[in-house]
Amino acid sequence: SQQGEEDPQALSIQEGENATMNCSYKTSINNLQWYRQNSGRGLVHLILIRSNEREKHSGRLRVTLDTSKKSSSLLITASRAADTASYFCATDRSNAGNMLTFGGGTRLMVKP
Amino acid sequence: EAGVVQSPRYKIIEKKQPVAFWCNPISGHNTLYWYRQNLGQGPELLIRYENEEAVDDSQLPKDRFSAERLKGVDSTLKIQPAELGDSAVYLCASSPGQVGGELFFGEGSRLTVL
């Protein structure tokens, strides 16, 4: 079973616009990670946010975490056509040891 | 530094045939994972190794799936016999072993069962 659920499932925007993807989860976590997957490729780690953090930045990426609502968001600013990919959140649950559980992903298309 | 290497990248087989996938993790990474990713979905964990020991294989369908990680380095995942529903991408990932850390994924092995 998948711990995280991304919303929306698909998102289409124009280059230069911002893209926001949301992730909700069910149980307590140690941290939450976001990964990117280009079509036909493996997943690439983007950013990790710990349960005691509320916001984190990495280049054009901004991640927020609200543990009271069990949700996270990934914001990509000034999107580029090369950002077209699927984005997955993954949670490291407090009682699950060293194991990540992935959500179903958001498929982002950035039109040039 | 070489990444996680998987082979084959693509495999097409008839149902009931066996198939095996191989993974070479990043050097020094103690933890190795096998995930299965169905089309349009996120990866689902099949098995996790800490060195040679399988520490989480609760999601591995043990009637037809088997895995091994000899000497705590390379790993193989086998399906015998394959069923139509096994068509998916099988992803291998590794990590240095710290709890909750980043995973490094290979490119995956895409299996099509006809």
Out of B35, B43, B99, closest to residue A98 by CB? B99
- DSSP annotation of A41 reads S
Question: Count of CB atoms within 10 A of residue B79's CB?
Answer: 20
| Structure confidence at residue B96 (pLDDT) | 87
- Residues 77-96 in A contacting B (C-alpha not used; CB under 8 Å): 88, 90, 92
pLDDT at A40 over 80: yes
Kindly list the structural domains of chain B, giving each domain's residue range(s) and its CATH number in brackets, ordered by start.
Answer: 5-113 (2.60.40.10)
Taking only the tens place, the pLDDT of each residue in A54-89 is: 999 999 999 999 999 999 999 999 999 999 999 999
Q: Is A24 at the interface with chain B, CB within 8 A?
A: no
Q: Where are the domains of chain A?
A: 5-111
CB of A76 closer than 8 Å to CB of A60? yes
Distance from the Cα of B99 to chain A's closest Cα (Å) equals 5
The tally of CA atoms less than 13 A away on the side-chain side of residue B88 is: 21
Contact yes or no for B56 and A99 at CB 8 A:
yes
Partner residue opposite A104 with nearest CB, options B42, B93, B98? B42
Structural tokens at position B73: 């380095």
Residue A1 confidence (pLDDT) above 50:
no
pLDDT score recorded for residue A92:
85
Q: What pLDDT does residue B114 have? A: 97
**Cross-strand bridge partners of residue A43:** A37
Looking at residue A102, its pLDDT comes to 93
Residue A2 has pLDDT above 60, yes or no: no
Nearest to B52 by CA among B70, B38, B39: B70
CB B32 within 8 A of CB B92: yes
Residue A43 to residue B107, Cβ atoms within 8 A: no
The partner residue sitting opposite B42, judged by closest CB among A41, A48, A105, is A105
Are A43 and A34 contacting, i.e. CB atoms less than 8 angstroms apart? no
Which residues lie across from A48 on neighbouring strands?
A33
A29 contacts A45 by C-beta, under 8 angstroms:
no
Q: What distance in Å separates the CA atoms of residue A86 and residue B41, rounded to the nearest whole number?
A: 10
HSE on the CB side for B89, CA within 13 Å? Answer: 22
- What is the model's pLDDT at position A75? 98
Query: Could you report the per-residue pLDDT of B12-39, keeping only the tens digit for each?
Result: 999 999 999 999 999 999 999 999 999 9
What would the mean pLDDT of A32-56 be, rounded to a whole number?
A: 96
When pLDDT is averaged across residues A37-52 and rounded to a whole number, the result is 95
In chain B (114 residues long), the average pLDDT of successive 10-residue segments reads 93 97 95 95 93 88 93 94 97 84 95 98
Q: With a cut of 70, say whether residue A96 has pLDDT above it.
A: no
8 Å CB contact of B105 and A44: yes
Contact A102 B44 (CB under 8 A): yes
Closest chain B residue to the Cα of A38, Cα to Cα: B107
When the pLDDT of each residue in chain A is averaged and rounded to a whole number, the result is 92
Residue A94 confidence (pLDDT): 65
Q: Please state the rounded mean pLDDT for residues A32-50.
A: 96
A5-111 topology per CATH: Immunoglobulin-like (2.60.40)
Greatest extent of chain A over all pairs of C-alpha atoms, in Å: 43
